[in-house]
Structure 1
Amino acid sequence: PSDNNSDVYEQITLPAIYTFVFIIGLGANVCGLKSLLQKWKSLGHINVFLLNLGIANFLLLPTLPFLTAYYFMKNKWIFGDAFCKITRFCFNLNLYGSIGFLTCISVNRYLAIVHPLKAKRRITVRTSVAISVMVWLLVSAQSLPDVLFPKNSPNRTEKCYHTTSNEYVEDYLKYSVGWTLTGFVMPFFIFLGCYGHVTLVLCRKNTINKVVKQRSLKLMFILILLFSVCYIPYHIFKNLSLYSRVLFSTNKKYPSWDKGVFCAHQISRGLVCLNSVLNPLVYLHVLDIPAQLQQLLQRFRQTFTRLFVSNYVSVPVAQTANRAIS
């Protein structure tokens, strides 16, 4: 459907969100990866998953200015069909690569807390690299069929659909449901299982350090936020929107709930890109950046006290001594 509300969501809201994500996400990911490389040796094998999470973010960010231009120009794609497919492919690699590596980080934290001895023996840097390669291969295999679907209508070649044209929407819905189950639902259940068990262990065991408990619960909160805000709405409304289009292709009429789902889907497309802004919170948390900032602030206070407060105190004393002499 195309009305004033849908135009607002697609041509104003999406470009605004993409611009925000590009600016903030670029800065946050550069800072995060710089800190990661500085502390590479001290982190252990989890740094491999964190690095790949950063790479997934950088696959999306360079494409956002082109998508912003597309929606800002009222859905007119001027960069060619090949680049349209590359842009959409990078979007999907970012989305499902992020989900994959966040799941790997969740399993890693689960093993470190629940089975620490097994984790030390079995999980090495080489194992982490092998798992990362498998994740990229699986994500690429899941995303590749999307490239094979047409991204524009035969009579409207300037379009760059994020799904496909109406002629192929029924087949695309079947593919999308399977993609959702393997690329999102399965990792999400693994995530829930890991952190459900971790929460039970943290609550029952008094031997676990309080700081470790707090850091684990904070990481769980960040990951729940990511899944709740970025991933769950996108997959629900994407498939509902596709189903609505399938109903239209058979009945020549959109269902009554289509307009609400369409608007929600446009918003969820913006929210899913926020994963590139929220993902750095994961590796900044693991790197313990807040603690580093706290140390820097403490040093600044000490320096400020030595330089200014001590000088301010010493000046009246010196003046009083001079008056006594005179």
Structure 2
Amino acid sequence: MESSTTELPSLLSNQSSGGCAAVDMTAENTLFGCFYILVFFLALNGNSLALWIFSHQRGSSSPANIFLMHLAVADLSYVIILPLRATYHLTGGHWPFGEVPCRMAGFLFYVNMYASLYFLACVAGDRYLAVVHAVRSLKVRRARYAHIISFSLWALVTVSMAPLLVTHQTAEVNGVTVCLQLYREKASRNALISLAVAFTPPFLTTLSCYLLIICSLHRGSRLEPALKLKALRTIGLVMLIYVVCFLPYHASRATFILGYNHPGVSCQTRRGLSLANRLTSSLTCLNGAMDPLIYLFGAEKFRGTLMRLFCKDKAGMSAATSGELKGTHESSVSAKSEF
């Protein structure tokens, strides 16, 4: 976790960073504000529906579905503060909500991001066991173990980010209240260790599991062609979320920490680093809008329930859809794989 006791947004710290003149960020703030509002509605609707479907599924859930359900909870925990971030931008970088909401905004930002990373890694691990070790993993891939792992991860992430809740995070600058947690424009190089420890293990786990799955599918497996295609589609979607939402942020943060306060760095370079920091920070919240696609393509019961929900009112379609979904689900269970 990064130190945040003296960090200010670049707009307010330009004058103390080598005499750089302040720049007009009205258009930038407007775009960020509208972006957060759009993501809020997409993520709120998608994850609320997903959580409702997961909680109303009959019978025991697969480990993958349990991890996905916790992923939806993580997304919703961050979605609720997106209107605050939108307001912060639309009011020109002023934080009118006070100290406690500012702390919560930073806390939920990191809890969501790293909980999402680890739950995606858990899904990848479960898929690896289901495809590569389908028979031998039957005793391990149980709902009870998935719940234990999930709650353990929640405890780990929450405890790791808890210091953000007890650190002062607002400051008055030129009559404007800023929330230091939203954009960390200064950080010690020790933060690189935190970035590496929090991001590298789940990323490498996810990447390794999916590469092993692809190799197994390439060599030939007992999965039906339709299930193989679904597996590859889910793998591609998860890796797309990493490339769009998480890799840019961590690469940008590392570059920012190493370069922002380096002697001889020009004002233009500092502004570029600051903009990249804000942009990649905003991209991380896209995972809340993209994760429902994983539920749609990666969870058989979820897709079946969703289709029945939207097709039940169509004449003559409900029974056919139900029978088709049942057959698909039975095929999936027999293969011990629910992508």
Normalised TM-score (structure 2)? 0.78
Residue of structure 2 equivalent to 1:102: 120
What is the aligned counterpart of 1:282 among 270, 294, 318? Answer: 294
Q: Any conservation in 2 of the 1:230–1:274 contact (CA below 8 Å)?
A: yes
Cα deviation for residue 89 of structure 1 reads: 0.2
Normalised TM-score (structure 1)? 0.81
Query: Is residue 161 from structure 1 mapped to residue 176 from structure 2 by the alignment?
Result: no
- The 5-angstrom pairing of residues 44-83 of structure 1 reads 44-83=62-101
> What secondary structure, in the 3-state scheme, does the structure 1 residue paired with 2:136 have?
helix
Query: Is residue 174 from structure 1 mapped to residue 190 from structure 2 by the alignment?
Result: yes
Q: Decide whether aligned partners of structure 1 residues 41 and 292 sit closer, same or farther in structure 2, where only a CA change above 3 A counts.
A: closer
Equivalent position amino acid for 1:71 in 2: H
Cα deviation for residue 257 of structure 1 reads: 3.2
Judging by fraction of residues, say which structure has more helix.
Answer: 1
Give the RMSD, CA atoms, in angstroms: 2.8
Unpaired runs of 5+ residues, structure 2, are 1-9, 12-21, 318-339
- Identity of paired residues, percent? 23
Equivalent position amino acid for 1:158 in 2: T
**Structure 2 CA distance for aligned equivalents of residues 42 and 237 of structure 1:** 42
Q: Decide whether aligned partners of structure 1 residues 291 and 158 sit closer, same or farther in structure 2, where only a CA change above 3 A counts.
A: same
Residue of structure 2 equivalent to 1:141: 159
Q: Decide whether aligned partners of structure 1 residues 279 and 158 sit closer, same or farther in structure 2, where only a CA change above 3 A counts.
A: same
Q: Any conservation in 1 of the 2:63–2:126 contact (CA below 8 Å)?
A: no
What is the aligned counterpart of 2:240 among 217, 225, 229? Answer: 225
Cα deviation for residue 40 of structure 1 reads: 4.8
Larger CA Rg, structure 1 vs 2:
1
Residue of structure 2 equivalent to 1:320: none
Residue of structure 1 equivalent to 2:218: 203
Q: Any conservation in 2 of the 1:103–1:191 contact (CA below 8 Å)?
A: yes
**Structure 1 CA distance for aligned equivalents of residues 179 and 199 of structure 2:** 24
> What secondary structure, in the 3-state scheme, does the structure 2 residue paired with 1:122 have?
coil
Cα deviation for residue 142 of structure 1 reads: 3.1
Q: Which moved more, 1:262-271 or 1:195-204?
A: 262-271
Q: Deviations over 1:198-228 (max 9, x none)?
A: 0000011153211221111111011011000
What is the aligned counterpart of 1:259 among 268, 271, 278? Answer: 271
Q: Any conservation in 1 of the 2:48–2:76 contact (CA below 8 Å)?
A: no
Q: Any conservation in 2 of the 1:57–1:94 contact (CA below 8 Å)?
A: yes
What is the aligned counterpart of 1:246 among 257, 261, 282? Answer: 261
